[in-house]
Amino acid sequence: MADDRPNILFIMSDDHASHAMSCYGSRINETPNLDRIASGGMRFDNCFCTNSICAPSRATILTGTYNHINGVTTLGAKIDGRQENFAKLLQGAGYQTALVGKWHLGHGGHHDPTGFDHWDVLPGQGDYHNPEMNRIGDSRRIDGYVTDIITDLSLEWLEARDKDRPFCLMLHHKAPHRWWEPDEKHAEMYEDVDIPEPETLWDDYENRASAAREAKMRVDRDLSERDLKGPTPDGLSPEEEKRWKYRRYIKDYLRCVASVDDNVGRVIDYLDVDGAAKNTLICYTSDQGFFLGDHGWYDKRFMYEESLRMPFIVRYPEGIQPGSVNQRMVLNVDFPATFLDYAGVEVPGHFQGRSLRSLLEGATSDDWRTSMYYRYWMHLSQHHVYAHYGIRTHDYKLIYYYADALGQPGTVDDTKPPEWELFDLQKDPSELNNVFNDPAYAEIVPALRTELRDLQLAVDDEPYFKEDDL
């Protein structure tokens, strides 16, 4: 007799900002196949990551724990596969489990994927064209474009699966991660299209912490010839040069997104034809948000909204109302508990997230979280972003730049003076005006600092304040 527990298809891209998805109201592109998931299920408008950088977010999603617990605080850390993860639990409960695409949590020893009957992953970040793939320790190079290849390999596994048992497939795309190399099909897409500029492209970082000014990820200053696929034309004014670089960057980024969208459509079409769609929980997300010229930046890392916010859309015909939208505050640490809940598997007590099933089924929970905790550990590495942590509520965001490496792997041991930022998200949704020292917020600041400490302690993290900021 066939097992009628729901299949789980968890599709995750890399650096795909929600404001580059038409189901989230994008001003710059269309994503018709991703829209199929949203229109057939639920769109979460307030989904956030707990550490906006690739490997740490992936570790949180896999283990259901914050990075100070799972050990993957930075890109310099590797996961210890001996710890519990949701794939192991699903596997132990009889699910067929597979991981195809980006892994990025280390290789060899205890760093290879665990909990999967089958895995076929990119080494490290991987290549866009003719990528090397590592199938359970056996590496080979495959001709073609990486987004197509990851989809092809996923469909092969789906076709060969035991159709009498439920599956969990983690289909993880490399795109649209830097260096934004599109496939041939989309190479000329948007060529004659004028992509709108973000409202904050010309941010001057006034009245903000020095961390914003010091970050090295400005579109006009820090994009390389490799990013831009060639040298900047001569004779441009500074304003013209910035616009030229933005357009070169954003068009290649969106071309990579278009390929992801096409391939998501291929998988949905397969499930429709296969007959499995009705009983498959399809989730699409990215490992974090991304700056699409917002604040004059590319990349992520900051607790600012475009980096913090994740897309999260879920379709399950058996239990989710089509076209529904949820405004509750949900986190990447919630994903594993959700998958286990749908599979009928008990959620371990040490998991730090909460199942979203009740929200997906339309319940209105009076005790849902109204604030979230964020921590970026990777001090000054790569893009010179200061280490920081903070709290986001529905109305405010408080960020503390403690700006210290604290001996974390892959960080730069160069301590900076501590700074605070406070943004009133209702009055200043673009986060341009730091009101931490504004007397009008004199009562808000201590209340948020207290709540920040409470959130830290609730997730077993250690509050850290420098002596000059106690």
The answer to whether residue 194 sits within a structural domain is no
One domain, residues 339 and 405: no
The answer to whether residue 191 sits within a structural domain is no
Dihedral sign, Cα of residue 297, residue 126, residue 169, residue 317: positive
Mean pLDDT of 379-384: 97
Query: What distance, in Å, lies between the first and last C-alpha atoms of the chain?
Result: 63
Question: pLDDT category, 466, cuts 50, 70, 90?
Answer: low
DSSP string for 309-339: EE-EEEE-TTTS-TTEEE-S-EEGGGHHHHH
Compute the mean pLDDT over every residue in the chain, rounded to the nearest whole number. Answer: 97
Containing structural domain, residue 365 = 7-183+248-370
- Asked if the model's pLDDT at residue 1 lies above 60, the reply is no
pLDDT in tens, 116-144: 999 999 999 999 999 999 999 899 999 99
| CATH number for 36 | 3.40.720.10
One domain, residues 328 and 394: no
pLDDT for the residue 464? 87
pLDDT for the residue 34? 98
DSSP string for 59-126: HHHHHSS-HHHHS--STT----TTS--HHHHHHHTT-EEEEEE---S--SGGGS--S-SEEEE-STT-
Domain final residue, candidates 345, 370, 395: 370
- Asked if the model's pLDDT at residue 194 lies above 80, the reply is yes
Domain final residue, candidates 354, 370, 386: 370
One domain, residues 159 and 46: yes
The answer to whether residue 385 sits within a structural domain is yes
Q: Confirm if 98 and 167 have CB atoms less than 8 A apart.
A: yes
pLDDT in tens, 291-322: 999 999 999 999 999 999 999 999 999 999 99
Cα separation, 281 vs 318, in Å, equals 9
One domain, residues 144 and 257: yes
One domain, residues 339 and 446: no
| CATH number for 412 | 3.30.1120.10
One domain, residues 404 and 348: no
The answer to whether residue 292 sits within a structural domain is yes
One domain, residues 274 and 384: no
pLDDT in tens, 71-119: 999 999 999 999 999 999 999 999 999 999 999 999 999 999 999 999 9
pLDDT in tens, 436-455: 999 999 999 999 999 999 99
One domain, residues 315 and 447: no
Q: Is the peptide bond before 176 cis (omega within 30 degrees of 0)?
A: yes
How, if at all, do strands 47-48 and 309-310 pair? antiparallel
One domain, residues 129 and 163: yes
- Decide: pTM greater than 0.85: yes
- Asked if the model's pLDDT at residue 467 lies above 60, the reply is no
Cα separation, 65 vs 119, in Å, equals 22
Domain final residue, candidates 324, 342, 370: 370
The answer to whether residue 298 sits within a structural domain is yes
Tell me the residue type at 14.
Answer: D
CA-based angle 277:278:280, to the nearest 5?
60
pLDDT for the residue 199? 97
Q: List the single range of 6-10, 50-54, 266-270, 466-470 with lowest mean pLDDT.
A: 466-470
The answer to whether residue 313 sits within a structural domain is yes
One domain, residues 268 and 360: yes
One domain, residues 286 and 379: no
- Asked if the model's pLDDT at residue 470 lies above 90, the reply is no
- Asked if the model's pLDDT at residue 334 lies above 70, the reply is yes
One domain, residues 166 and 290: yes
Mean pLDDT of 62-69: 98
The answer to whether residue 216 sits within a structural domain is no
Cα separation, 120 vs 122, in Å, equals 7
The answer to whether residue 231 sits within a structural domain is no
Cα separation, 168 vs 158, in Å, equals 10
Element (H, E) at 388: strand 388-393
The structural domain count of the chain equals 2
pLDDT for the residue 366? 83
pLDDT for the residue 249? 98
- Asked if the model's pLDDT at residue 364 lies above 70, the reply is yes
CA distances from 40 to 224, 262, 360, 411, 469 (A): 40, 17, 12, 43, 49
